[in-house]
Amino acid sequence: MATTLRKPAPAVTTPAAGKPRTGVRKYWHLYAAISPFYLLFLCFGLIPVGFSLYVSLHRWDGLGSMEWAGLSQYQYLLSDSDFWTAVGNTLVIWALATFPMIFLAMVTAVMLNSAVRFKNLYRFAYFLPNVTSVVAIAIIFGSVFSTNFGLVNALLQAVGLDQVAWLNTPWGIKTAIATLMTWQWTGYNAIIFLAGLQTIPGELYEAARMDGAGPVQTFFRITLPMMRPVLLFVLVVSTVTGLQSFSEPQVLLQTTSNDSTFAGGPGHAGQTMVLYFFQQTFDNNDFGYGAAVAWGVFLVVVLFSIINWRLVQRRGED
Amino acid sequence: MTSIKGTRSKGVALHAVLVVGLLLSAFPFYWAVIMSTHTSSEIFTYPPNLLPGSHFLENLRSLFDAIDFFGSMWNSLLVAVSVTFLVLLFDSLAAFVFAKFDFPGKRTLFATLLLIFMVPAQLAAIPQFVIMAKLGWIGSMTSLIVPAAANAFGIFWMRQYMTGAIHDELLDASRIDGAHFLRQYWHVALPVVRPGLAFLGIFTFMGQWNDYAWPLIALTDPDNVTLQVALSQLNGTHGTTDYGMVMTGALLALIPLLIVFAIGARQIIGDLAKGAIK
């Protein structure tokens, strides 16, 4: 029965049959296996991150002496409308990019999983956008969305529509950045979904077919529930990378903004949270406040990831 | 696969949609090829040139004059290969533990790992540089390889993949046969998750190959850098950017990635075929 599907019990727990052993001695090999990551993180992550927390409680221009500021940087952050504008920009760009991306990727993966011929050609081609560097992509998209010589506007004109100043209007900027991100990540996520689809045992589909389930029913009753770990992965990764987007707007809008390379284009319409961090830190030489902004970014990313995680988990458990 | 008539018309529609997607994802590359064969002034004309021009060799020559292309390519290869090897080993080992075993503190440690993943890389960049300088690694490829040797993303990916792909009965059986932890990892877990590993390997190689911000900070000698940093030096060094030359460089930098991807794709295909027979 398709409806009674449950994931297999996750962990291999063996009740200690013989003499009881203490945790560390019994599990030492498991701790050893996960230790490289945690050791590296301790040296090159935790200590630097701890230092940045220290910096955020000070006024510091990066060179001179540090002056204790307590929580005042964070108080200012809460009332800083420029920061909240950047948060809003980031969320809008993230939403514009992520929802079409996940939908398209899922559709592509299901199609690839059923189309037998040329599968590898498609897979190869769809993955390509993610292979190249953001710098090159942003240069290409800059030329594609250019107002006077851009391909998109040439296309609009060809079908009798008006030109759009893509990189000069608030929505144009956000659309251009989101298009770039969607283009770069759809195929990548489709390949991940495909990998997940291939771990679903074929017998489940056969059983469903014998029970008379149609393709839509099969998708919602078997494919989607079995794909939940992969879907969660994709959503969390898209949230984390999308909310930390930096290179895309930075390179894309570099040439159109006059005041700063981190301003995010005219009217700061493409200024993401991380761009704002760079602006505060390196343009204003305000390392203390920059560190506070970075921690603000971190909290927004964590909060948002938890919300997304909960949403997917709950929908799956119904 | 059962009713041939219905499948055929459905197959045509399917391929039509897939081809549209293929053209959409491939077009910017075509556009990059076009740009690499034109001079900068030819690129910015209206209506746009959609056919290749004749200036590729010229762009290539100015590229090789401007940067030490092959030297920086070697550096990129060294870093990307070392990091990929280490990441595949460390991440899959940790992921196996998180996916299939219980031990005190597991939930906390995994939650910590996810939190670490969410820390913006920029947060730690400045203090990290100071630590590397103290270790004497600044300017050498060690400063790129060691901190990247294991990562939260890869552990998270392999853990999600292993949770579904490795069946508990298989592990139970191997334990009854007396296999210890490393044997289970090597002979039971790894063979099953080869597609997942291939993906992580490709992705890691790619990420290292395309990484830009940290190498820019850590490699202080402009004559001893990775390829992306070398390419970025092309931007604006001569006042205005020579887009034709930059695109030529970007295209050449893509070749090793394509080779790696082709090798990895074959690995994935091999396991696919096996899965179909089962």
What pLDDT does A318 receive?
A: 45
Chain A residue whose CA is closest to B245: A136
The one-letter amino acid at B195: P
Q: Which positions of chain B have pLDDT values less than 70?
A: 1-9, 46-47, 122, 126, 235-241, 265-278
Residue B120 and residue A120: Cβ atoms within 8 Å?
no
Q: A1 at the B interface (CB within 8 A)?
A: no
* CB-CB neighbors (< 8 A) of B182 in chain A: 29
Name, in order, each residue with C-beta under 8 angstroms of B131's C-beta and a sequence gap of 6 or more: A43, A44, A47, A48
Going by DSSP bridges, is the β-strand pair A67-68/A58-59 parallel, antiparallel, or unpaired?
Answer: antiparallel
Hey, where are the domains in chain B? 2-54, 67-233
For A172-230, the pLDDT digits (tens) are: 999 999 999 999 899 889 988 888 888 888 888 888 888 888 888 888 888 888 888 88
Chain A residue whose CA is closest to B127: A48
B interface mutation test: which of A24, A28, A34 has the most B CBs within 10 A? A34
Residue in the block written with tokens 């004309």: B45
Name, in order, each residue with C-beta under 8 angstroms of A241's C-beta and a sequence gap of 6 or more: none
Name, in order, each residue with C-beta under 8 angstroms of B4's C-beta and a sequence gap of 6 or more: none
What pLDDT does A10 receive?
A: 44
With contact defined as beta carbons under 8 Å apart, do B103 and A30 qualify? yes
For A83-96, the pLDDT digits (tens) are: 999 999 999 999 99
Burial A36-56 (b: 16+ CB within 10 A, else e): bbbebbeebbebbbebbeebb
* CB-CB neighbors (< 8 A) of B122 in chain A: 246, 274, 277-278, 294
* CB-CB neighbors (< 8 A) of B120 in chain A: 244, 274, 277, 294, 297-298, 301
Residue A115 and residue B14: Cβ atoms within 8 Å?
yes
CA A134 to chain centre: 14
* CB-CB neighbors (< 8 A) of A121 in chain B: 22
Residue B93 and residue A124: Cβ atoms within 8 Å?
no
What pLDDT does B46 receive?
A: 65
Q: A8 at the B interface (CB within 8 A)?
A: yes
Residue B26 and residue A125: Cβ atoms within 8 Å?
yes
Chain B residue whose CA is closest to A146: B44
As a residue count, chain A comes to 318
With contact defined as beta carbons under 8 Å apart, do B218 and B143 qualify? yes
With contact defined as beta carbons under 8 Å apart, do B138 and B129 qualify? yes
Q: A66 at the B interface (CB within 8 A)?
A: no
Distances (CA, A) of B232 to B66, B70, B165: 11, 15, 41
Tokens in use for A253? 């809008």
The one-letter amino acid at A186: T
What pLDDT does A86 receive?
A: 94
Fold of B67-233: MetI-like fold (1.10.3720)
Tokens in use for A290? 């920059």
What pLDDT does A209 receive?
A: 85
Quickly list DSSP for A10-45.
Answer: --------SS---HHHHHHHHHHHHHHHHHHHIIII
Q: Which positions of chain A have pLDDT values less than 70?
A: 1-24, 115-116, 254-261, 314-318
Closest in A23, A38, A154 to B47, CB measured: A154
What pLDDT does A4 receive?
A: 39
Residue A36 and residue B155: Cβ atoms within 8 Å?
no
Nearest-angstrom CA–CA distance, A127 and A138: 17
Angle at A204 between CA A198 and CA A207, to 5 degrees: 145
Angle at B200 between CA B195 and CA B204, to 5 degrees: 150
What pLDDT does A93 receive?
A: 95
* Ranges assigned E (strand) in chain B: none
Closest in A120, A122, A130 to B22, CB measured: A122
What pLDDT does B273 receive?
A: 43
Q: A22 at the B interface (CB within 8 A)?
A: no
What pLDDT does A276 receive?
A: 92
For A269-278, the pLDDT digits (tens) are: 889 998 898 8
* CB-CB neighbors (< 8 A) of B104 in chain A: 23, 27
With CA atoms as reference, report the closest residue to B94 among B240, B9, B200.
B200
Q: A306 at the B interface (CB within 8 A)?
A: no
Please tell me whether the interface predicted TM-score (ipTM) of this complex is above 0.85: no
CA distance A170 to chain B (A): 24
* CB-CB neighbors (< 8 A) of A111 in chain B: 14, 17-18
A89-258+294-317 falls under which CATH superfamily?
MetI-like (1.10.3720.10)
